[in-house]
Structure 1
Amino acid sequence: MGFAEEKGSNVLFAKTSCFGEEHGSRQALLPKEGKEGSLENARKLELVDYDSLPKYLKHNEFILRYYRCEWPLKDAILSIFSIHNETVNVWTHLIGFFLFLSLTLYAAMMIPTVANSLYAQQPHSGVESPFSSLSNTSGFGSIFKEINTSSSQTSMPHPQFHDYFGKIFAARNGDESAAAPSGQAISRWPFFAFLCGAMFCLLTSSACHLLSCHSEHTSYVMLRLDYAGISALIVTSIFPQVYYTFACEPFYQTVYTAGITTLGVLTVLVSLIPFFETPEFRIVRSLVFVCMALSGWGPIVHKLMLFGNRPEALLTTLYEFLMNSCYGIGVVIYATRVPERWSPGKFDLIGHSHQLFHVLVIAGAYIQYLAMLVYLQWRDAEGC
């Protein structure tokens, strides 16, 4: 087997196969004794080029080098601390997982699950609307100004979120003077279901990128978990918008929730088909998840038909548009494999399409989290 040293780097990559000319044979996988065994083990931990990979690891021909190929499980796990072409993929979603874990713990402590104070009956003087503050930090100033004007016309108080959480703490400490007009906080399970769905998606994605290099069986299992995680994120992203939008319409709640759940289960079942993961079906995979995500626009349009004059409906719709834009752009980048398609080998370690896709997924999920806060604020204030 011949090896070449990458210019400007101390990383070696193989030019033939994972285990030399006998790649794929059981003999090549057997442990060796003595000096020969040490050389064989060292060879297994080298980074190889695309042409050296077995078929099940060939997903993107525009990423040319720095692949891990059939590493022992322990070494695959420890490779989280080394440099290869999956390092950024692993860490982007692992960091995203800890971000949403922090948001979940924060929400669990800050947002009560029983009726507590969220608003006084009348707006507080001097309390700035969140729409006003948003208008100062975004390019949607005129939109938020219109929303804020609509809010004042309907006499609907909209304190900032820090004021919202501050009132919650006051209530938990025994101050009942600012009870919510509805008298009871809306159920939190859709909100936390979304957070759990996001964490599951991010964690399974990170694990998939870290461990799939171990073996063909491991790759098969991890990819299915990855697809299940994507489905979970999409489904649980739609749960809250349906539940809180149609809080007073249980029929629509049931129809939309059952519909998106069914689509999610069907998507997971389709992903079990072996050819679903092949490079030839990259576009098909993308379309399957896009179609499932687009189903969420049904309840959004319905929401605008019912509450189109409400600032909460407009703001949450704006968030949902931004969320879907992030996901949509990410899917296009994933399916077209840009920018590495334009310059193969240049983006092997950083900047390739899947890494950009990961960042956009985290951004979209966080935007949806902001929308959830608006939904909670809305329904806790008014109830049903």
Structure 2
Amino acid sequence: MGRKVTEDDRVESTENELLCSSQQEGKGKRICKKVKYQLVDYHSLPAYLKDNEYILNYYRCEWPLKQTLLSVFSIHNETLNVWTHLLGFVLFLSLTIYTAMKIPKVMDLTALQNLQDAVRKAGLHNFRTELLTCLPSIPQLPDLRTLREELKALLPSMADLHIIELLTNCYEHFMHNNPTDNSVLHNVKEDVVNIIAPLIVGPITRWPFYAFLGGAMFCLLASSTCHLLTCHSERLSYIMLRLDYAGIAALISTSFYPPVYYSFMCYPFFCNLYLGFITLLGLGTILVSLLPVFQSPEYRVLRASLFFGMGVSGAVPILHKLVIYWDKPEALHTTGYEFLMGALYGLGALIYAMRIPERWKPGKFDIAGNSHQIFHVLVVAGAYTHYQAGLIYLRWRDTQGC
């Protein structure tokens, strides 16, 4: 008799482990609590958690909030999705702090401060206007080499900022044109002013660069939080997914701010046009992502296409920049970075939409190596590439102005 009871107990325990029913009492309920936070397979998930049928196992399902938060330190099929973007957030937070503390020193600020002090002592308070006045105003050959030496004697710190080299280039450009042409003379005077004046007024505004860094941090943190918390409940999943989509739209939109602003700061109409367009497009994408149907698995390709389309729209201002600044090495250099960024984002979106490589071997990439994880890594790489382009923009505009 005692042996029969033992067999029944074992059968009951097995059923509780499989069913995990909260309605059972006594010993069965205690066993259920012990196995309550086991990982489950795809077919055991409720509909709102079913997103990728090629990821077969290691799902968390409707865990309490405490266990959901603690699962950031455990192994499941979302672990790398959480950590790839969480570490990406830490990276961009560090870059933001570094930018705030160090990047204003694109030039040697000690030399710049000495230059500014010398200008004040020389009495050139309205430097731009007075420099234009000091340059030759009649159609005769101005000896910019003499001007270089005079400025070097007046402002010794200018040599530390490579201004002499820039003035040499300006002189050589002038000598290859007609020195008696009033329009050429005016252009030369403007060139010299644009070379020197930015050093006096200080570094160019940084808000477009910080907008991009803020958008990147918001996107990465929202994504990491989404992957950690969506398993808690349907309501929280609904909120987190929309936060995730908003973060993607914010990253794409703010990625346009540095190239558009710094490329067209001397062309306010185009600057405002492009900034306004991408901002409205980003807001529209966020509003569309709020629709409940937007998160359905069958709309995966639409989601990827919408975000991909936002990125592709950036080709217009980039090509426009090349038309205007085709002879500027900074324009070519930043464009190279921007195309690399676009390629990384586009490749990530394609892999995400096609669910490569897990569609080829379902269940083999449940923990590591699936499309979403690859997408995350490519997003961080693309954003970092854009950060490097932003540094070139700052150095370009700080030293040369318009």
The bucket for the TM-score relative to the shorter chain is: 0.7 to 0.9
Cα offset, 1:60, TM superposition = 0.4
Distance in 1 (alpha carbons) for counterparts of 2:105 and 2:209: 11
Query: What percent identity do the matched residue pairs reach?
Result: 57
Cα offset, 1:252, TM superposition = 1.1
Indicate if the aligned counterparts of 2:16 and 2:29 stay in contact, CA closer than 8 A. no
In the alignment, structure 1 residue 43 sits paired with structure 2 residue 42: no
Question: Which segment drifts farther, 178-187 or 336-345?
Answer: 178-187
Cα offset, 1:184, TM superposition = 2.4
Distance in 2 (alpha carbons) for counterparts of 1:155 and 1:350: 59
The 5 Å alignment of 1:111-190 reads 111-112=103-104, 117=109, 121=158, 181=199, 183-190=201-208
Q: 2:311 aligns with which of 286, 289, 293?
A: 293
Q: 1:340 aligns with which of 349, 358, 371?
A: 358
The verdict on how the C-alpha distance between 1:16 and 1:153 changes in structure 2, with shifts beyond 3 A counting, is farther
Structure 1 spans left out of the alignment, 5+ residues: 1-14, 22-27, 126-149, 157-177
TM-score by length of 1: 0.77
Kindly provide the amino acid, as one letter, of the partner of residue 74 in structure 1: K
Structure-2 residue corresponding to 1:232 = 250
Q: 1:242 aligns with which of 240, 250, 260?
A: 260
Indicate if the aligned counterparts of 1:19 and 1:43 stay in contact, CA closer than 8 A. no
Indicate if the aligned counterparts of 1:116 and 1:180 stay in contact, CA closer than 8 A. no
Structure 2 spans left out of the alignment, 5+ residues: 1-13, 113-156, 173-195
Indicate if the aligned counterparts of 1:231 and 1:264 stay in contact, CA closer than 8 A. yes
Q: Return structure 1 stretches of 4+ with deviation > 2 angstroms.
A: 15-21, 32-44, 111-125, 152-156, 178-184
Kindly provide the amino acid, as one letter, of the partner of residue 344 in structure 1: P
Distance in 2 (alpha carbons) for counterparts of 1:155 and 1:18: 84
The verdict on how the C-alpha distance between 1:239 and 1:124 changes in structure 2, with shifts beyond 3 A counting, is closer
Structure-1 residue corresponding to 2:53 = 61
Per the alignment, in what secondary structure is the counterpart of residue 309 of structure 2?
helix
Q: 2:74 aligns with which of 70, 73, 82?
A: 82
Cα offset, 1:18, TM superposition = 11
The verdict on how the C-alpha distance between 1:200 and 1:326 changes in structure 2, with shifts beyond 3 A counting, is same
The verdict on how the C-alpha distance between 1:238 and 1:220 changes in structure 2, with shifts beyond 3 A counting, is same
Distance in 2 (alpha carbons) for counterparts of 1:52 and 1:17: 15
The verdict on how the C-alpha distance between 1:347 and 1:244 changes in structure 2, with shifts beyond 3 A counting, is same
Work out which of the two has the higher radius of gyration on C-alpha atoms and give 1 or 2: 2
The verdict on how the C-alpha distance between 1:215 and 1:16 changes in structure 2, with shifts beyond 3 A counting, is farther
Kindly provide the amino acid, as one letter, of the partner of residue 66 in structure 2: K
Distance in 1 (alpha carbons) for counterparts of 2:169 and 2:336: 21
Structure-2 residue corresponding to 1:318 = 336
Kindly provide the amino acid, as one letter, of the partner of residue 242 in structure 2: R
Distance in 1 (alpha carbons) for counterparts of 2:385 and 2:331: 15
Q: 1:356 aligns with which of 374, 390, 393?
A: 374
Cα offset, 1:383, TM superposition = 1.7
Structure-2 residue corresponding to 1:140 = none
Per the alignment, in what secondary structure is the counterpart of residue 66 of structure 1?
coil
In the alignment, structure 1 residue 302 sits paired with structure 2 residue 301: no
Indicate if the aligned counterparts of 2:16 and 2:31 stay in contact, CA closer than 8 A. no
Q: 2:91 aligns with which of 88, 99, 106?
A: 99
Q: Deviation digits for residues 230-261 of structure 1, max 9, x if unmatched? A: 00100110011111001111111111111000
Structure-2 residue corresponding to 1:164 = none
Structure-1 residue corresponding to 2:19 = 20
Q: 1:282 aligns with which of 300, 309, 315?
A: 300
Distance in 2 (alpha carbons) for counterparts of 1:95 and 1:299: 31
Name the Cα RMSD after superposition. 3.1
Distance in 2 (alpha carbons) for counterparts of 1:33 and 1:116: 74
In the alignment, structure 1 residue 256 sits paired with structure 2 residue 248: no
Indicate if the aligned counterparts of 2:63 and 2:231 stay in contact, CA closer than 8 A. yes
Kindly provide the amino acid, as one letter, of the partner of residue 20 in structure 1: L
Structure-1 residue corresponding to 2:231 = 213
In the alignment, structure 1 residue 374 sits paired with structure 2 residue 374: no
Per the alignment, in what secondary structure is the counterpart of residue 75 of structure 1?
helix
Distance in 2 (alpha carbons) for counterparts of 1:17 and 1:248: 71
In the alignment, structure 1 residue 202 sits paired with structure 2 residue 201: no
Kindly provide the amino acid, as one letter, of the partner of residue 186 in structure 1: I
Cα offset, 1:275, TM superposition = 1.1
Q: Deviation digits for residues 4-33 of structure 1, max 9, x if unmatched? A: xxxxxxxxxxx9999838xxxxxx567x77
Indicate if the aligned counterparts of 1:16 and 1:51 stay in contact, CA closer than 8 A. no
The verdict on how the C-alpha distance between 1:121 and 1:278 changes in structure 2, with shifts beyond 3 A counting, is same
Indicate if the aligned counterparts of 2:255 and 2:386 stay in contact, CA closer than 8 A. yes
Kindly provide the amino acid, as one letter, of the partner of residue 257 in structure 1: L
Q: Deviation digits for residues 307-363 of structure 1, max 9, x if unmatched? A: 011000000000000000000000010000010011001000000000000000000
Indicate if the aligned counterparts of 2:345 and 2:382 stay in contact, CA closer than 8 A. yes
Q: Greater helix percent: which structure?
A: 2
